[in-house]
């Protein structure tokens, strides 16, 4: 059983980096949308989420490209199969591809064999399509099973980002070796503020406010202690024009600071590893 | 059974105090995490809340310390056992400490004998872990027996579980007295999130948060209204914050900014429940 060794509180970022910022994009094309009674697809909400795969991801890639920022994309296997071009474009632009289930499987109570098969299938599909090695994972519904971290470690993963319980990366001792956990948070998740059919509390301005507040608090704290910032962003929510503008403006504000480094999760995990 | 004791004079605060603000920090970490129908604790909700014990509580302690204000830390027994260091630091910093049930049980769903057992267990934990003799109690889900049990079996000075008034009131029963210090529905939980996760959580079941801006605005509105009213009448502002909600970086700024804002006003005092109790008891002098 995976055992937490502890928070990596002595992580030291590369020289000149005061606060690494990981933009993590969760990319699906409607796989996670619940079916209507009678197992009928929910075309309305499904379409709103499918938007991310058809248009949202392209809008986001454009912004990241213009501002020369590298990020991490968590991708569902089936989304990559249905929309491979965006995944290839993301890799070509230097972004990291990580796994987020094959087809939005919720594995909280899954048999370990089923979960392992699903992880392997996701990795195979994503690696075949993207040509990139898959070393990171996030459970699509943020619900790990008791064996998730162990399975990831035995499948050769370096890091996971499915937990939400810390400000800093944590180190786990798993059956397959050490695994870095990069905890994130839904307190800054775009879907809450601009996602449909979420309550959309705040709209684009609200999204800007919550991201900026998170950054200010962490930036302040990072003066005297180790911190990193991680945002969970849906390609279907922030990908919309009004919201992608918020993303652009957020990045534009941050890049004026020389001690901010936008980083892929793999880089942050590697920085942690170099100290452990 | 207990009765309410009427004031013997018009209720007032000591000279110079116009608006006491009681910050209650609910330090409960993962204790109230959603449990699925199959008996498994929701790993997502658990992890999101566990942030409170691991990080959020420390951040709140730091903010209060920075402003040099004291509050009341309302702590679950199980949380003290799991994260004793933060409770010790809270005590060392001089904050008041109160009990918040053992594992955030919804006491309204428990028969009196079980509720009594859980209160006893919690009281014991604070004694064992912190050497703290609990004088204050809050359960967010009081039962119709809560007050009776507190009076009959314990020596609490105050309870703050009831949401039914603007100001404290004294109750008497079983030969003992207790000050009820009601709290407000304007907690961070109500303002920040839709805390009632659907059961079972839908695939969309996440924390439906309001923006930091919205929460700050609501806190200030409540403050402004009470401060204005405080020119003529006694007022009290209970302000609840949770380790896993306002303890998050983005929302921690809200508490920081609110304290900065409120401090500028003459007659605003950040107080603990214990202080407020001793002040209000003056209004019952024979």
The residue of chain A with its CA nearest to that of B252 is A217
CA separation, residue A92 to residues A80, A88, A103 (Å): 15, 6, 24
User: Following DSSP, what letter does each residue of B109-127 receive, concatenated?
Assistant: GS-HHHHHHHHHHHHHHHH
Best residue of B83, B85, B209 to probe chain A, by most A CBs closer than 10 Å: B209
Contacts of A193 in chain B (CB under 8 A): 209, 211
Answer whether A32 touches B (CB < 8 Å): yes
Contacts of A190 in chain B (CB under 8 A): none
Between chain A and chain B, the number of residue pairs with CB atoms below 8 A apart is: 111
Question: Taking a C-beta distance cutoff of 8 angstroms, is the pair B179, B281 a contact?
Answer: yes
- What's the rounded Cα separation, in Å, for the pair B132 and B95? 12
Shortest Cα–Cα distance, A216 to chain B (Å): 8
Please name each of the domains of chain A with its CATH number.
Answer: 3-273 (3.20.20.370)
Is the entire prediction scored with pTM above 0.90? yes
CA B230 to chain centre: 22
CA separation, residue A242 to residues A22, A245, B266 (Å): 21, 5, 43
Please report the pLDDT score of residue B35 as a whole number.
85
Whether B40 and A144 lie within 8 Å, measured CB to CB: no
- What's the rounded Cα separation, in Å, for the pair B119 and B77? 9
Please report the pLDDT score of residue A199 as a whole number.
63
Contacts of B204 in chain A (CB under 8 A): 34, 197-198
DSSP H stretches of helix in B131-281: 146-153, 188-192, 212-229, 249-263, 273-281
- Per-residue pLDDT tens over the stretch B203-255: 444 456 788 998 899 899 999 999 999 999 999 999 999 999 999 999 999 99
Q: Which of residues 62-91 of A touch B (CB under 8 A)?
A: none
Please report the pLDDT score of residue A132 as a whole number.
97
Answer whether A221 touches B (CB < 8 Å): yes
* Mean pLDDT per 10-residue segment, chain B (286 residues): 92 97 96 88 91 97 98 98 98 98 94 98 98 95 95 97 94 96 78 50 54 90 96 96 94 96 98 98 89
Q: Which of residues 93-152 of A touch B (CB under 8 A)?
A: 106, 108-109, 141-145
- What's the rounded Cα separation, in Å, for the pair B184 and B164? 8
- What's the rounded Cα separation, in Å, for the pair B152 and A101? 55
The residue of chain B with its CA nearest to that of A197 is B204
DSSP B201: P
CA separation, residue A108 to residues A1, A200, B44 (Å): 15, 27, 10
Complex prediction ipTM:
0.94
Partner-chain residue, chosen from A141, A183, A187, that has the shortest CB–CB distance to B251: A187
Shortest Cα–Cα distance, B184 to chain A (Å): 22
| DSSP β-bridge partners for residue B21 | B237, B270
- What's the rounded Cα separation, in Å, for the pair B57 and B182? 23
Question: Taking a C-beta distance cutoff of 8 angstroms, is the pair B106, B127 a contact?
Answer: no
Can you state the angle between helices A241-255 and A203-221, rounded to 10 degrees?
20
DSSP H stretches of helix in chain A: 43-51, 57-66, 77-82, 84-92, 112-130, 148-154, 190-194, 203-221, 235-238, 241-255, 265-273
Positions of chain A with pLDDT under 50: 276
Q: For domain B3-284, say whether CATH 3.20.20.370 is its number.
A: yes
Whether A206 and B214 lie within 8 Å, measured CB to CB: yes
């Amino acid at each position: 059983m995976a055992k937490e060794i502890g928070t990596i509180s002595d992580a030291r970022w590369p020289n000149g980096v005061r606060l690494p910022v990981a933009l993590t994009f969760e990319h699906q094309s409607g796989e996670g949308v619940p079916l209507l009674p009678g197992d009928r697809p929910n075309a309305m909400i499904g379409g709103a989420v499918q938007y991310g795969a058809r248009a949202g991801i392209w809008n986001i890639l454009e912004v990241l490209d213009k501002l020369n920022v590298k990020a991490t994309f968590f991708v569902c296997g089936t989304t990559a199969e249905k929309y491979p071009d965006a995944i290839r474009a993301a890799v070509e632009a230097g972004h990291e591809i990580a796994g987020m289930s094959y087809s939005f499987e919720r594995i909280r109570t899954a048999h370990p064999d089923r979960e392992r098969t699903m992880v392997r299938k996701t990795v195979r599909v994503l690696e075949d399509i993207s040509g990139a090695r898959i070393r990171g994972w996030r459970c699509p519904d943020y619900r790990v099973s008791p064996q998730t971290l162990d399975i990831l470690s035995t499948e050769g993963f370096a890091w996971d980002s499915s937990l939400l319980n810390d400000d800093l990366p944590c180190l786990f001792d798993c059956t397959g070796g050490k695994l870095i956990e990069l905890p994130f948070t839904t307190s800054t998740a775009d879907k809450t503020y601009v996602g449909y059919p979420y309550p959309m509390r705040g709209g684009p301005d609200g999204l800007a406010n919550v991201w900026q507040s998170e950054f200010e608090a962490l930036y302040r704290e990072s003066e005297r202690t180790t911190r990193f910032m991680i945002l969970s962003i849906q390609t279907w929510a922030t990908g919309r024009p009004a919201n992608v503008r918020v993303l652009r403006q957020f990045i534009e504000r941050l890049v004026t600071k020389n001690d901010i480094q936008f980083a892929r999760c793999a880089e942050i995990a590697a920085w942690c590893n170099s100290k452990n | 059974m207990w009765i309410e004791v009427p004031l013997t004079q018009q209720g007032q605060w000591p000279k110079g105090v116009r608006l006491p603000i009681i910050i209650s920090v609910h330090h409960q970490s993962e204790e109230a995490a959603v449990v699925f129908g199959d008996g498994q604790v929701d790993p997502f909700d658990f992890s999101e809340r566990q942030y409170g014990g691991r990080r959020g509580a420390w951040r709140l302690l730091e903010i209060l310390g920075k402003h040099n204000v004291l509050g009341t830390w309302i702590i679950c027994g199980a949380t003290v056992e799991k994260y004793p260091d933060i409770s010790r630091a809270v005590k060392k910093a001089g904050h008041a400490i109160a009990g918040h049930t053992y594992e955030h049980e919804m006491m309204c769903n428990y028969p009196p004998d079980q509720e009594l057992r859980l209160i006893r267990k919690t009281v014991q934990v604070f004694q064992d872990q912190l050497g703290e003799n609990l004088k204050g109690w809050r359960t967010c889900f009081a039962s119709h027996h809560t007050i009776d049990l507190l009076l009959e079996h314990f020596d609490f000075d105050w309870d703050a579980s009831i949401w039914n008034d603007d100001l404290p009131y004294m109750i008497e029963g079983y030969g003992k007295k207790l000050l009820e210090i009601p709290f407000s529905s304007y907690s961070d939980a109500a303002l920040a999130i839709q805390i009632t996760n659907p059961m079972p959580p839908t695939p969309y079941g996440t924390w439906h948060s309001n923006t930091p801006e919205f929460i700050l605005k609501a806190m200030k509105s409540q403050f402004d209204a009470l401060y204005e009213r405080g020119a003529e009448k006694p007022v009290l502002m209970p302000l609840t914050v949770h380790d896993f909600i306002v303890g998050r970086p983005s929302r921690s700024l809200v508490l920081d900014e609110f304290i900065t804002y409120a401090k500028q006003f003459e007659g605003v005092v950040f107080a603990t429940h214990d202080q407020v109790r001793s002040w209000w008891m003056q209004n019952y002098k024979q």
